[in-house]
Amino acid sequence: FYLTGIALGPRGKLDIPVLFIPSTMKLHEAQVVIHVMRENGENWPYEDSAQLNKDLKSITLAENGGIQGIRWIYPVHGIPEAPQQKSVSAVIRCRARHRFQQRVEVLLTGIVPGAMAVPAGRNAAQVVRNKPGNIQDEVQVTSGFSKKVEFLYELQYQSDKIKSQLDALVGIHLMKKEQDPESGSVTLIFNIVFAPNKPMRNAATLVVQCATGGIWKFPLLFIATEPEVDDVINIEAAGLNKESVVGFRLTSQRR
């Protein structure tokens, strides 16, 4: 749409509201173009107007020389984000100083059957299997996809400090993706590896973005419980008011 006849004084400011109401989980692109001309209709003088590039989109040249108008072009990318429902977090629980693998299934619903764009739908994160297994090197694509659809994913944490602590302790890998040919819903199955070194409890968010546009967010909760007891030290009393001593070794895991 176009708005014309807006007067802007020297050093003035112009607010341009942009409203984005996506109906599908697909990237939308637009441009905000601002075309400025003098209020009196005169041109801006420019001595070398003949040498100006005729294909330059930022200026409008007058027939008799000079610059008739100046344009600013701002590209706008509309990326829809699925509303976060009050779904229960998928819990990844492991004892400290152990390693645990868990498969987490996320559902991207509301997709038009046969379409590669993913309309907005509800979020669901559900643990489907708690069984150790080897992480697959390749993503399996079922016959429900008529084309290859790429998904980007990452784990986001509440702070940079938590991120620095968990980056080395958590691994995530997309193992499989499926699409229901009737409803169009996409299911992604992730394998998450958790190897905590101390007790902790931290929330995270699994963010999934489709290459064609659209973002989904799923809550996760990482819980590391107390580790097993390393050893039991028995000290035998030597007698009343007598010192009893026992020795043991501690080995550092770091330099």
Residue 49 DSSP class: G
- Mean pLDDT on 2-14: 82
Confidence of residue 161 (pLDDT cuts 50, 70, 90): very high
Structural contact between residues 101 and 133, judged by C-beta atoms closer than 8 angstroms:
yes
Q: Is the confidence at residue 132, as pLDDT, over 60?
A: no
Predicted TM-score of the model (pTM): 0.67
Predicted local confidence at residue 126, as pLDDT: 47
Task: Report the distance separating Cα 132 and Cα 195, nearest Å.
Answer: 13
- In the predicted model, what is the mean pLDDT of the chain? 79
Q: What percent of the chain has pLDDT over 70?
A: 76
Q: CA dist 94 to 109, 164, 206, 241, 249, Å?
A: 30, 19, 19, 44, 27
Contact 58, 189 (CB under 8 A): no
Rounded average pLDDT over 198-225: 91
What is residue 72's predicted lDDT score, i.e. its pLDDT? Answer: 86
Closest to 130 (Cα-Cα) out of 194, 211, 39 = 194
Give pLDDT tens digits for 68-127. Answer: 888 888 999 998 888 776 778 899 999 999 999 999 999 886 554 444 443 344 444 444
The model's confidence at residue 140, banded by pLDDT at 50, 70 and 90, is: very low
Contact status, residue 1 vs residue 17, Cβ threshold 8 Å:
no
**Per-residue pLDDT for 165 more than 80?**
yes
Q: Is the pLDDT of residue 138 over 80?
A: no
Higher pLDDT, 148 or 170: 170
Predicted local confidence at residue 67, as pLDDT: 81
- Is pLDDT of 181 > 70? yes
The whole-number pLDDT of residue 47 equals 65
- CATH class entry, domain 82-112+150-227: mainly beta
* Annotated domain spans of the chain: 1-79, 82-112+150-227
Confidence of residue 7 (pLDDT cuts 50, 70, 90): confident
Higher-confidence residue of 186 and 200: namely 200
- Tell me which of 35 and 124 has the higher pLDDT: 35
pLDDT at 147: 46
SS (H, E, C) 80-131: CECCCCCCCCEEEEEECCCCEEEEEEEEECCCCCCCCCCCCCCEEEEEEECC
Spatial separation of the C-alpha atoms in residues 61 and 150, rounded to whole Å: 44
